[in-house]
Structure 1
Amino acid sequence: MSFDFSYTDINHPLTIEFVEKFRDITSPLANDCYGRRNIMDAGIKPLRHGMRILGRAVTVQLPPDDNLLLHVALHSAEPGDIIVANTSNDRHSGVWGELMTRAAISRKIGGLVLDGMCRDSDWISNSGFPVFARGTCARGSRKVGPGHMNIPVACGNVVVNHGDIIIGDDDGIMVVPACDAEDLLPICLNKITSEKTRIENINAGSPKPKWLPGAIEKWQASSA
């Protein structure tokens, strides 16, 4: 079966240059600044400690036991993009493996977030290509379809839209909606600065945060 890849035109709402401004922002920090929202559930984990991803989401919705649209996404995504895929709760087939990873590296894809299973995990872990998944399964999958790209998908109990910013590290995966990214960025950068000051105070012998006495006072008042 052949495809006309023109229908998968990406048209990201954010530029690569803008997304790169989030490079020093971790998933916990972004989550704190976004009101502790939009963090994927902890069941989706990196295949290896130290994996990190940052990029614009290319979303994929798959039927169970099928990875056809993952191949379409792989060969239409732009360098640096993060493929974010929902497998319709499939836990019985590995929809991503070594050959797809080799192709992703060749095309300079930024990473994969998979609400489902992958295989060839040892090779992938040593390849340097970042994959976050529910787990592993040796059984392969079909390439029949149907499926969808560039639509809102649920991944790790978070809705991900095409073009959202994905921040992934050992602590989790944060989804920054493209529509909120410009407003969120300065808040995150300011928090980085304030936490550096806090660390300097701790190292200088002032470990007690300024907010703690007030919080204790409120707790004591509510417990009286």
Structure 2
Amino acid sequence: MPGTIVTDVPTPDADAVAALQGFGVATVHEAMGRVGSLGPALRPIQQGVAIAGRAVTALCWPGDNLMVHAAVEQCTPGDVLVVATASPASHGMFGDLFATALMHRGVRGLVIDAGVRDTATLRELGFPAWSRHVSAEGTVKATAGSVNLPVVVAGQTVRAGDVVVADDDGVVVVPRARVADAVTASQQRVDKESAAREAFAAGELGLDRYGLRPVLDRLGVRYARWSDTPEAQ
């Protein structure tokens, strides 16, 4: 449906969104079965910032940010703007003017599978962004795309209304239908890790806690004294 702007996207539960933000990208990704990550190439332009919010999606043509302008109008407080392009693009499609407009609307941040610019100003403004590129190359505003239809970012489909979680570790997308399950699974993982952390602090080894010694044995891993190795000869 090219040339379409969808206006009435469902909003996920606010408490669940806040919980996912607190759990963080790595925990949510693992808890969902290691799915939903947008990969290592989308990097934050800042450090120490974690966000989560409803996805508002925009599909643009490379070097054309017309539909980002259209997407701004559809953003509401707590949203995360997710921008994809119809084919790979490295243009600086987003800068401080967009950030100013989005901050006025209460948007929490940007995820873009292309480039951003004005990064120093974005950091000064406190507007977080995760992007594939940082580029000064400008854009035009001439080609129709879509807003709030599914987009593909780093091989993952992102739908309007999904929950986007982003922090120093990258970005993960939680499908709207899985939000409640993701919260439950993430809490279970946090509890499990807390127990493991206490055990490790008391001196227990991961080899024993996770039952890995039989794995080493099955793989043929053997212990040897230094004096019996070639390095000691």
What TM-score do you get using the length of structure 2 for normalisation? 0.86
Asked whether 1:217 is paired with 2:214, we answer: yes
**Which digits, 9 at most, give the CA deviation of each residue in 1:133-180, with x for residues without a partner?**
112111221112211111111112211111111111111111111111
Asked whether 1:17 is paired with 2:11, we answer: no
Check the 8 A contact 1:94/1:118 in 2, yes or no: yes
Check the 8 A contact 2:165/2:173 in 1, yes or no: yes
**Aligned partner (choices 154, 164, 167) of residue 166 of structure 1:** 164
Shift in Å, 1:222: 4.0
Q: Which residue of 2 aligns with 1:183?
A: 181
Check the 8 A contact 1:39/1:174 in 2, yes or no: yes
1:28/1:103 Cα in 2 relative to 1: closer, same or farther (>3 Å)? same
Shift in Å, 1:207: 4.2
**Aligned partner (choices 79, 82, 90) of residue 80 of structure 2:** 82
What secondary structure, in the 3-state scheme, does the structure 1 residue paired with 2:216 have? helix
**Which digits, 9 at most, give the CA deviation of each residue in 1:51-75, with x for residues without a partner?**
3220011111101111111111112
Shift in Å, 1:208: 3.5
Q: Which residue of 2 aligns with 1:30?
A: 28
What secondary structure, in the 3-state scheme, does the structure 2 residue paired with 1:186 have? helix
What secondary structure, in the 3-state scheme, does the structure 2 residue paired with 1:201 have? helix
Shift in Å, 1:205: 2.9
Aligned length in residues: 217
C-alpha distance in 2 between matches for 1:23 and 1:119: 26
Q: Which residue of 2 aligns with 1:119?
A: 117
4+ aligned runs moved over 4 Å, structure 1: none
RMSD: 1.9
Larger radius of gyration: 2
C-alpha distance in 1 between matches for 2:214 and 2:198: 26
C-alpha distance in 2 between matches for 1:190 and 1:30: 11
C-alpha distance in 1 between matches for 2:207 and 2:179: 29
Percentage of pairs with the same residue: 28
**Which digits, 9 at most, give the CA deviation of each residue in 1:166-217, with x for residues without a partner?**
11111111111111111221111111122122222222333446543x3221
**Which digits, 9 at most, give the CA deviation of each residue in 1:114-134, with x for residues without a partner?**
000011111112221110011
C-alpha distance in 1 between matches for 2:206 and 2:15: 38
What secondary structure, in the 3-state scheme, does the structure 1 residue paired with 2:99 have? helix
C-alpha distance in 2 between matches for 1:70 and 1:106: 15
What secondary structure, in the 3-state scheme, does the structure 2 residue paired with 1:154 have? strand
Check the 8 A contact 2:83/2:112 in 1, yes or no: yes
Check the 8 A contact 1:161/1:177 in 2, yes or no: yes
1:133/1:183 Cα in 2 relative to 1: closer, same or farther (>3 Å)? same
Shift in Å, 1:29: 0.6
What secondary structure, in the 3-state scheme, does the structure 2 residue paired with 1:173 have? strand
Q: Which residue of 2 aligns with 1:151?
A: 149
What secondary structure, in the 3-state scheme, does the structure 2 residue paired with 1:167 have? strand
C-alpha distance in 2 between matches for 1:124 and 1:186: 34
What secondary structure, in the 3-state scheme, does the structure 1 residue paired with 2:199 have? helix
**Which ranges in structure 1 are unaligned for 5 or more consecutive residues?**
none
Task: Give the residue type in structure 2 aligned to 1:150.
Answer: N
**Which ranges in structure 2 are unaligned for 5 or more consecutive residues?**
222-233
Check the 8 A contact 1:10/1:77 in 2, yes or no: no
Shift in Å, 1:219: 3.4
C-alpha distance in 1 between matches for 2:140 and 2:172: 30
C-alpha distance in 1 between matches for 2:125 and 2:8: 26
Check the 8 A contact 1:95/1:117 in 2, yes or no: yes
